[in-house]
Amino acid sequence: MSLVDGLLGPEEPEVGCDDCFAELDRYVELELAGEDPDAQLPGLRAHLAGCLACREEHESLRALLAGERG
């Protein structure tokens, strides 16, 4: 992420870290099922774009589940 992107953050409305954590499991399962998580959980993708810590945990959960499911 460039310095400008980091300073300005995502354009779209976003949830906070607590709401992101609350829904992260569902978001990742929808992603892995090939569904559209953004339609059901608006604001999460924008938060993941703006928050490095939540983004890293999203990537980890996705990788962990993807590895389990082969």
- Interface with other proteins by CB under 8 A: which residues? 1-4, 6-9, 11-19, 21-26, 28-29, 40-44, 46-47, 50-53, 56-57, 60-61, 63-65, 67
Alpha helices by DSSP H, 1-70: 3-8, 17-32, 37-40, 44-50, 52-68
Minimum CB separation from other proteins for residue 38, in Å?
Answer: 10
Q: Are 13 and 44 in contact (CB under 8 A)?
A: no
Q: Which is nearer to other proteins, 6 or 36 (CB)?
A: 6
Q: Which is nearer to other proteins, 36 or 40 (CB)?
A: 40
Distance separating alpha carbons of residues 13 and 19, to the nearest angstrom: 13
